[in-house]
Chains A and B, each alone.
Chain A
Amino acid sequence: MGIKNKKEFEKNDYPIIAEYAGGGIMLASLDAMVNWARANSLWPLTFGTRCCAIEFMSAGASRHDMARFGNEVARPSPRQADLLVISGTINYKMAPVLKRLYDQMADPKYVIALGGCAISGGPFFYNSYAVVKGADHVIPVDVYIPGCPPRPEAYLFGLMQLQKKIMRQKNFGKVNYSEAKPIISDKTSL
């Protein structure tokens, strides 16, 4: 994905020009500014299904304050939010609703999969007939936070990883990251 070594990944100083953003000096600073604004004011959508929603609420309370990351204003309407935190199990009846919510959000939008159920079905992976084995079968996910339920500190760490990912984005003309070509096979899978 373009990361060459661990040191490069951990640097978070945005005025450094040539390593992250594309273009010359003017566009690079503009990139850095836009990314800084987006990363530090992510507004989550109130979407909690199962127990992870309670840990998400704890992250918003006074002990693990997520307001210091700019994450405080949780909007109930998808048109006003830019971060969708999938906290809980997604089942076959809820999957179209999730897709519709994601479609209604305006760009730029980011998705965090919080908890085991959203990553892969979690404790409901084996023998369950109604659970989608991972929310990324429905919408693309940026950050996966494992745990059942993950601690609020784990959610804050995942949020910081998302912020680092946003800081590396190139907004003016260049490609953000090159994906591998999708493998198309004949196997019907989940």
Chain B
Amino acid sequence: MSEIREVIVKTDRLATDKYQVNMGPQHPSTHGVLRLLVTLEGEKVLNVQPHTGYIHSGIEKMCEAITYPQIIHLTDRMDYLSAHMSNEAVALCVENALQIEVPDRVKYIRTIMDELTRLASHQLWWCVYGMDLGALTTFFYGLRDRELILDIFEETCGARMTVSYNTPGGLMFDIHPNFQKRVKDYIKYFKTKLPEYDKLLTGNVIMRERTEGIGYLTLEDAIDFGVTGPSGRASGFSSDVRKHQPYSAYPLVKFNEILDHRCDSLARYEVRILEMWESISIIEQLIDNIPEGDYALKMKGVLKLPEGEFYQRVETARGEFGVFIVSDGKKNPYRIKFRSPGFSNLFALNNMAKGHKIADLVAIMSTLDLIIPDIDR
């Protein structure tokens, strides 16, 4: 008997093997073109290595050849679900560099559109999250509500998703006369539908089993990796730019920053649902009080920023988005860098997914809410 045991131990014939599997660029669950090289032992994940670059379009180099108002149209296409907030970041950076103050009407409208964009983005996140876990009904519920917001955008800004509504100095055009009524009707309608999201998914036994205790990210790791946004707030990292460095009309509204200390996937899910409630409350505070005035300042035809370096941060639906402009006095930037939230959030995936099964990897990646063109720019 002992000889047999010795032979088995020596030849290692019953030992398992590590092998690498490619979750390739074209995959239904990677939310875009992301390649993950996963080292597996059986079904347990040992190491996840993301390979990016499959949608890299050289936006930063392109921006060095165009003027500041033209950069806004390219920032739409990076994080396309928070397009309005990325536009606002560039517009605010240019306005702060030129030291001009926009009228109050512009600030109110920008904040209302910001929160509507955040709602639309979280709705799409929720519907795709359910699909990743296997619940296909969430796809239809989320998109049903998102289409109504896109209708409002289309009436006012002309486009559904890539709005390009901001411009340095204000907005492109004034809001449509129907805007306030439509937004108020939508908020009344959506307040009856958001509890449906909870009823459908939050209390579901399968969802709970797949997310509770899975994908742990400690607070020190969150700060070290720079994981901002709802993913970081679920680990206790208080990084909301709307609270700490407020811009536009955020100093005038009262809202809570949703912090959770459980650090797992379920916490990241619940933080986003509660953020949707906070967005509704912000819109309700602002929609009736839009002051009268101009919708844009009169700017010069050719905008030239003074020499220097300028950094502006905004809070998109994914985290902190930053625009860093190095200017040498000409009408094109010398160097522009976009600090994208997805870039920092993605590389924390290895820490979160080690030791879990490969099906958990899909669920964890979905709670991070990654948009790949945001990472690759």
Contact = CB atoms under 8 A, between A and B. Distances in A.
B324 interface: no
Interface string A45-69: 1111111011101100111000000
B57 A47 contact: no
Contacts of A47: 26
A126 B32 CA distance: 24
B198 to A, nearest CB: 20
Contacts of A54: 80-81, 124, 161
B58 A50 contact: no
A93 B61 contact: no
Interface string B276-307: 00000000000000000000000000000000
Interface residues of A, number: 34
A148 to B, nearest CB: 7
B77 interface: yes
B147 A93 contact: no
Contact of B144 (A63, A126, A148): A63
Interface stretch (A106-114, A128-136, A180-188): A128-136
Contact of A51 (B53, B77, B140, B143): B77
A48 B54 CA distance: 12
B253 interface: no
A149 B160 CA distance: 9
B116 interface: no
Interface in A16-66: 45-51, 53-55, 57-58, 61-63
B32 A124 contact: no
Contact of B55 (A62, A88, A148): A88
- Residues of A contacting B: mostly: loop
A75 B8 CA distance: 44
Nearest to B131: A57
A50 B55 contact: yes
A101 interface: yes
A128 B143 contact: no
A94 B62 contact: no
Contact of A76 (B27, B53, B59, B62): B27
Nearest to B28: A76
Contact of B57 (A57, A61, A76, A131): A131
A43 B286 CA distance: 45
Contacts of B144: 61-63
Interface bracket on B = 35 or more
A49 B32 contact: yes
B143 A50 contact: no
B373 interface: yes
Given A47-B26, A48-B32, A50-B373, A93 B81 contact: no
B56 A130 contact: yes
Contacts of A94: 25, 33, 54-55
Contacts of B58: 124, 127-131
Contacts of B66: 127
A123 B73 contact: yes
Given A51-B162, A61-B144, A97 B26 contact: yes
A91 B54 contact: yes
Interface string B18-38: 000000111110001100000
Contacts of B140: 61-62
Contact of B61 (A49, A57, A128): A128
B201 interface: no
A61 B143 contact: yes
B53 to A, nearest CB: 5
Interface string B321-355: 00000000000000000000000000000000000
Contacts of B56: 91, 93, 130
Contacts of B160: 55, 149, 151
A120 interface: no
Given A50-B80, A89-B57, A91-B57, A148 B162 contact: yes
11 contacts: A49-B33, A50-B77, A51-B373, A57-B139, A62-B140, A94-B33, A123-B73, A126-B62, A126-B65, A130-B58, A149-B160
Given A46-B26, A61-B139, A148-B162, 13 more contacts: A49-B33, A51-B80, A51-B161, A55-B160, A58-B150, A76-B27, A89-B57, A91-B54, A97-B26, A123-B73, A128-B59, A129-B58, A149-B160
8 nearest CB pairs, A to B? A61-B143, A51-B80, A76-B28, A94-B54, A127-B62, A128-B58, A130-B58, A127-B65
Interface of B: 24-28, 32-33, 53-59, 61-62, 65-66, 73-74, 77, 80-81, 124, 139-140, 143-144, 146-147, 150, 160-162, 373
Interface of A: 45-51, 53-55, 57-58, 61-63, 76, 88-89, 91, 93-94, 97, 101, 123-124, 126-131, 148-149, 151
